[in-house]
Amino acid sequence: MAQASEDVNFRHMFRIPTKGDLRRKANSRSSNSTKKDDDDEPSTYLCGNSLGLQPTLTQTYMQQYLDTWATKGVFGHFTDISDSELVPWLHVDDDVVPQMAQIVGAKESEVAVMQTLTANLHLMLASFYRPDSLRYKIILEGKAFPSDHYAVESQIKHHSLSPSNAMVLIEPPNPSSSPLLPTDHILATIDAHASSTALLLLPGIQFYTGQLLDIPRITAHAQAHGILVGWDLAHAAGNVPLQLHAWNVDFAVWCSYKYLNSGPGSIGGCFVRDAHFERPRLAGWWGSSKSSRFAMTNAFEPIAGAGGFQLSNPSVADTTALRASLDVFKRTSMGALRERSLRLTGRLEEGLLASRASGCYRIITPRRVEERGAQLSVQLNPGLLDAVLQRLEEEGVVVDERKPDVIRVAPAPLYNTFEDVEAFVRIFGEACLEAVARGEQSGSSVMAEGGKEDKGWSEIK
């Protein structure tokens, strides 16, 4: 395990797209007809909050998986292969659980690698949301990721209840001045609905603002009122240190394609606290103990743990890709990664605040490092977004956008560098000033706010 002071830059273990890679329509570099001078330079990829980059091990392990399938067929389920790092397919899920449990701070028995995030959320709600005439509400944020909103809404309807009174949406206290959700405001909303609420579902890190919520405090507060607490950790898993067991979280779900780098749509994760292993559930054969799984007796014998909530045999391709990424995480610790992440994101913040273009945007992510992970969300002045994104694309800078005017910028500590951050700040600043100048020339209302004055979020909204 690496200590916090060790350098944890694992960039050499990732495939960083070059600028030419991003420009070409084809994958193959030989198909390039219109070559540019900087085609071979690495791109500035700051989008690990959306899709993490590919570890170099992924190709090696995927090839081993394909070779096993090609040469062993069905026996790949049971056979130890001497020239492969991978376990027989029957055990692929168990193989990745220990490292995943480390990353989220849980006992191994409390973690399952299974399904996908939204599917896992439904499975957890089926187990944990058991409304009765007294407690029937679910509290979530008003700007929850739409899939979470749909999952909760449909679960409420599934119990023949009405979302209009069973779904409590937490909105920012002052939406015109800040999109953030202060902890006290969340706690006050819980208090206001305490006796009628069955369940609280919140994001560890809010996808739009990048706000890291106070998971232990909010969990303890809700539980003191008899409310079960679940967390969507899509943007937190592999990004910030988590202690799900110590924080007494009831359940959590996450995906593995963001900071966990296992490829688009890859397999999800699920945490069930040990006190809940006996809960009712929607069952499938993969949740039944290995000894009985193939007996075909119709006697469901749930695995004692989160694994007992699995349904189907897991995608070996997905799980193999996850194993490749977790083998990188294995070389370090979340503490060491967080230390580097704080420095990278701190440098990004400093650069953005000191930029000549700082009047063109505002950082909406909390300034306190305890309240954020790797990502900063930057809100541009109205009318600038499209021109700025176009310029970033031309320069091989990858971030993602949330219309109408926010970009999310996330230096991932495993593979991003301080040079990436500095390149972004420079190119982004130039792009903003150019967009303003172009807007002024064309007589549109695009404005720079002029220097580094601190404008209120509402003023530039």
Annotated binding-site residue numbers:
117-118, 145-148, 232, 235, 257, 285, 313
CA dihedral 38, 39, 40, 46 (to 10 degrees): 90
**Does a cis peptide bond (omega within 30 degrees of 0) precede residue 98?**
no
Identify the residue whose tokens are 């949330």.
402
**Shortest Å distance, C-beta 265 to ligand PLP:** 7
Cα gap 76→95, rounded to integer Å: 15
DSSP 114-135: ES-HHHHHHHHHHHH----SS-
Plot region of 248 (φ>0 → left; ψ -120 to 50 → alpha; else → beta)? left
> Which span sits near ligand PLP by CB under 6 A: 101-109, 189-197, 228-236, 368-376?
228-236
232 touching ligand PLP, by CB under 6 A:
yes
Q: For ligand PLP, which residue has the nearest CB?
A: 118
If the CB atoms of residues 203 and 263 are measured against ligand PLP, the closer one turns out to be: 203
> Which span sits near ligand PLP by CB under 6 A: 103-111, 115-123, 332-340, 437-445?
115-123
113 touching ligand PLP, by CB under 6 A:
no
If the CB atoms of residues 113 and 234 are measured against ligand PLP, the closer one turns out to be: 234
Given 3-state DSSP classes, what are the helix, strand and coil percentages for the chain, each rounded to the nearest 5?
45, 15, 45
If the CB atoms of residues 272 and 427 are measured against ligand PLP, the closer one turns out to be: 272
Cα gap 95→384, rounded to integer Å: 47
Check: CB of residue 251 under 8 Å from CB of residue 276: yes
**Shortest Å distance, C-beta 85 to ligand PLP:** 26
**Shortest Å distance, C-beta 122 to ligand PLP:** 10
148 touching ligand PLP, by CB under 6 A:
yes
If the CB atoms of residues 262 and 416 are measured against ligand PLP, the closer one turns out to be: 262
Beta bridge partners of residue 230, listed in sequence order = 201, 251
Q: Which regions of 313-432 does DSSP assign to beta strands (E)?
A: 361-363, 376-380, 397-398, 400-402, 406-409
124 touching ligand PLP, by CB under 6 A:
no
**Shortest Å distance, C-beta 242 to ligand PLP:** 15
Which residues fall in the annotated binding site for pyridoxal 5'-phosphate? 117-118, 145-148, 232, 235, 257, 285, 313
Q: Which regions of 251-396 does DSSP assign to beta strands (E)?
A: 251-254, 268-272, 361-363, 376-380
**Contacts (CB under 6 A) with ligand PLP, residues 249-308:** 255
> φ, ψ for residue 139 (rounded to 5)?
-95, 130
Cα gap 362→371, rounded to integer Å: 17
**Shortest Å distance, C-beta 410 to ligand PLP:** 12
Residue 71, token pair as written in the block: 């040469």
- Near ligand PLP by CB under 6 A: residue from 104, 199, 234, 326: 234
> Which span sits near ligand PLP by CB under 6 A: 35-43, 145-153, 343-351, 413-421?
145-153
If the CB atoms of residues 247 and 254 are measured against ligand PLP, the closer one turns out to be: 254
Residues 6+ apart with CB under 8 A from 307: 93, 94, 97, 109, 112, 287
> Which span sits near ligand PLP by CB under 6 A: 111-119, 192-200, 337-345, 434-442?
111-119
145 touching ligand PLP, by CB under 6 A:
yes
Query: Residues 189-218: x/- map of binding to ligand PLP (CB under 6 A)?
Result: --------------x---x-----------
If the CB atoms of residues 44 and 262 are measured against ligand PLP, the closer one turns out to be: 262
318 touching ligand PLP, by CB under 6 A:
no
Chain residues in the site for ligand PLP (CB under 6 A): 116-118, 145, 147-148, 203, 207, 232, 234-235, 255
